[in-house]
Amino acid sequence: MKKDPRRLRFIEPFVRRAFCAVLDAHPEIADRLGNYAASRIRIDIRGAPFCMVLQPSKRAAWLYRRGAKVKSEATVSGGFMTLLKLASGDGDGDALFFSRDIGISGDTEAVVALRNALDDSGLDIIHEIFSAFGFPGLPLRLGYKAFRSMRPLVAGMFGS
């Protein structure tokens, strides 16, 4: 089988495992998504050398090199910290859209459904992801809170 040069296969299994762990821990996300769970949503982290495509119904996550042409129904773009805030319900999606901190394209319904599903889930994304790999959640959560408090300092490194 021919390799797809656009994909970052080395990291993909880790991303997929973390994504599945989130879906397993929060079945209400799929419930709220309904039919939109079949949508492929591209997550474009501004400044990152890659983008992610997530498809909840297939429990699938793909990682592509930045700039690669990727098939998806919708795209959400934003800085790393902004997207993290959005996924964790710490930021209001509409306000982040008004301020242009996040951008949306493609199927707006799918993005709105995802936003609402995540917002309701009470997802503690750092805890969930690290727990998926057997790391203790609490110290990492505290570390993340400290990381957020230093946000202005790290914004330049990771994008706001």
- Can you give the binding site for another protein, defined by CB under 8 A? 32-34, 36, 77, 89-95, 97-100, 103-117, 119-122
Calpha distance 155→160 (Å, rounded): 5
CB of 12 to another protein, least distance (A): 26
Calpha distance 20→59 (Å, rounded): 6
CB of 88 to another protein, least distance (A): 9
Name the H helices within the chain: 12-25, 27-33, 80-88, 93-98, 108-121, 125-132, 137-149, 151-158
CB of 31 to another protein, least distance (A): 9
Please say which residue, 8 or 155, places its beta carbon nearer to another protein.
Answer: 155
Calpha distance 130→46 (Å, rounded): 23
CB of 142 to another protein, least distance (A): 21
Please say which residue, 17 or 57, places its beta carbon nearer to another protein.
Answer: 57
Please say which residue, 53 or 74, places its beta carbon nearer to another protein.
Answer: 74
